[in-house]
Amino acid sequence: MPNNDKKKKFSIQELSLKRRIWIAISLVTLIPLIVIIYHFSGLYISIHAVVAAFLIISLGWWIIFEVFTSIVRVYSNSKKTLKNIGEDAPDVANEVQSLESIINILSSKMRSGLEQLKDFSQKAEELNQEVSKKVLVLSTILQANDLFSKELPPREILQFLNQRLKEIVEMKISFCILLDELSGKFELASYCGIDAAKVEEIIDEKNSDLYKAGRTFILDKENKSFPYTKLANGLGVINMAVVPILSRNQQVGILVAASHLDNFMFSKDDLSVLNLFSQNIAIIWEHKRLSHKVDELEVFDYLTGLYNEKYIRKRLDEEMIRSLSYQRPCALLFMEISNYKEYQERFGPIESEKLVKKTAKIFKEGLRPIDIPGRFGLSRLCAILIEKNKRQSQAIAKELKKKIEDNFKNQVKLSFSVAENPIDGVTAKELILFAESHIGTSQANETS
């Protein structure tokens, strides 16, 4: 390799054209001149010197020939290249002039090609951004659905959507205001990039039209006819999009995205992202509303099939009114699996649920059909004992306790309490409070 490098270093091919021409001219002119001067000065020139001079002159001419041949070769190659790209070579006899024109054509072509390439790469980049934005939007919606199926509280999902919306449409602020069905008021449901108190203040300004308009409002470089400039000023922004959240053709809230960038304009894509998010928020709102309804309508406990706590509270109130009207007592019995935690640690959650289920079955079987059994917590059962006073209820409780504990061969420990209307309270709340605070402390527990 070093030899090759050495060879290359002294190779005439490696030299520039100018240098080669200089060498060739030197060889062709200098040597004959030396020979002529030598000859006219009367000195003897041997035949060998003449031959050597002739060879050196030939070498010079050969170098000149090589230089021109290489130019012609470059010219011919350039012509071919020009032909390949569909351009005609200029009709000039002088190859050097022609080559100059060809180079000009090729360089201008190359320039335009480079510009095109730049354009393409820019477009590809834009396309990539658009695709990644769409992927982000879709993945956000999928993630929101996933959180939804994991039964995360709606507020957390909305907060997640607001956060993502702010990132996707590159806004400073994003928040949504939703109708609270219980209070009938529009309330701040989630927010990002702004202080909650600030938004609350804006809601207080009673922009009620904003929640009824049913259409999108935009404030940016192009759209200046925005009816809620006061709202924008309040938020300290100059760009704002207010998208309605519609559920069953009724506006249930607004989704707001805002920024303070100069010369900003909401793109069609931005608005379609906002609409997509508002549709998803509407689904969450509707789901929340239906869940509330289902909860309100549900009266049975999912595990035991007994009445749930909400129903027991309501029913106890009714029974107490009835018992007062008929001057009869009414009792509330609480029965707690007192070693439930240990049982759960020992046998696991599935077996523990089975235990509660079976206990509930025996508990219900031990009561009269007119009594109202329920579940009042993880391991606590209860019953409204119609027209039973404390003494009678304690007897029932003792019997039930024995029956259940015997059934589980004393692996289960129960404790109970009894509260009676009118002795221990005159409202359901008082009776429940009494029973809860006396569970496991009544005399009946000790004697059993």
Tell me how far, at minimum, the Cβ of 421 lies from another protein, in Å: 7
CB-nearer residue toward another protein: 197 or 370? 370
Query: For residue 127, what are its two tokens?
Result: 């396309």
**CA 14 remoteness from chain centre:** 61
Could you say whether residue 81 binds another protein (CB under 8 A)?
A: no
CB-nearer residue toward another protein: 34 or 324? 324
Element (H, E) at 367: none
Please state, in angstroms and rounded to a whole number, the distance separating the CA atoms of residues 397 and 446: 12
Query: For residue 178, what are its two tokens?
Result: 């939703």
Nearest to 362 by CA among 379, 376, 381, 384: 381
CB-nearer residue toward another protein: 239 or 421? 421
Axis crossing angle, helix 390-407 with helix 340-365, rounded to the nearest 10: 120
Q: Per residue, what are the HEC states of 152-211?
A: CCHHHHHHHHHHHHHHHCCCCEEEEEEEECCCCEEEEEEEECCCHHHHHHHHHCCCHHHH
Contacts of 218 (CB under 8 A, 6+ apart): 226, 240, 241, 242, 266, 271
* Listed ranges 48-56, 93-101, 283-291, 323-331: which one lies at the site for another protein (CB under 8 A): 323-331
Of 8, 292, 322, 346, the residue at the interface with another protein (CB under 8 A) is: 322
Could you say whether residue 447 binds another protein (CB under 8 A)?
A: no
Torsion of CA 87, 93, 94, 100, to 10 degrees: -10
CB-nearer residue toward another protein: 288 or 390? 390
Nearest to 337 by CA among 311, 368, 363, 312: 363
CB-nearer residue toward another protein: 176 or 432? 432
CB-nearer residue toward another protein: 225 or 443? 443
C-alpha distance from residue 11 to each of 2, 63, 143 (Å): 14, 12, 69
Tell me how far, at minimum, the Cβ of 381 lies from another protein, in Å: 24
Of 66, 423, 433, 438, the residue at the interface with another protein (CB under 8 A) is: 423
Which amino acid does the sequence have at 255? L
Query: For residue 251, what are its two tokens?
Result: 């506006």
Tell me how far, at minimum, the Cβ of 406 lies from another protein, in Å: 28
* Listed ranges 129-137, 270-278, 316-324, 401-409: which one lies at the site for another protein (CB under 8 A): 316-324
Could you say whether residue 327 binds another protein (CB under 8 A)?
A: yes
Which residues within the stretch 370-409 sit at the binding site for another protein (CB under 8 A)?
387-392
* Location of structure tokens 């005159």: 426
Using CB under 8 A, count the residues that bind another protein: 19
Could you say whether residue 421 binds another protein (CB under 8 A)?
A: yes
Which residues within the stretch 426-445 sit at the binding site for another protein (CB under 8 A)?
426
Could you say whether residue 325 binds another protein (CB under 8 A)?
A: yes
Of 372, 420, 428, 434, the residue at the interface with another protein (CB under 8 A) is: 420
Which amino acid does the sequence have at 314? K
Please state, in angstroms and rounded to a whole number, the distance separating the CA atoms of residues 109 and 115: 10
Query: For residue 182, what are its two tokens?
Result: 């219980």
CB-nearer residue toward another protein: 62 or 326? 326
Tell me how far, at minimum, the Cβ of 287 lies from another protein, in Å: 42
Could you say whether residue 275 binds another protein (CB under 8 A)?
A: no
* Listed ranges 18-26, 113-121, 201-209, 418-426: which one lies at the site for another protein (CB under 8 A): 418-426
* Listed ranges 162-170, 198-206, 288-296, 324-332: which one lies at the site for another protein (CB under 8 A): 324-332
Tell me how far, at minimum, the Cβ of 161 lies from another protein, in Å: 53
For CA atoms 259, 261, 267, 273, the dihedral sign is negative
Strands annotated E in 94-136: none
Tell me how far, at minimum, the Cβ of 388 lies from another protein, in Å: 8
Of 134, 198, 289, 328, the residue at the interface with another protein (CB under 8 A) is: 328
Could you say whether residue 32 binds another protein (CB under 8 A)?
A: no
Which amino acid does the sequence have at 60? G
* Location of structure tokens 């989704």: 255
Which amino acid does the sequence have at 221? K
Chain residues binding another protein by CB under 8 A are 322-329, 387-392, 420-423, 426
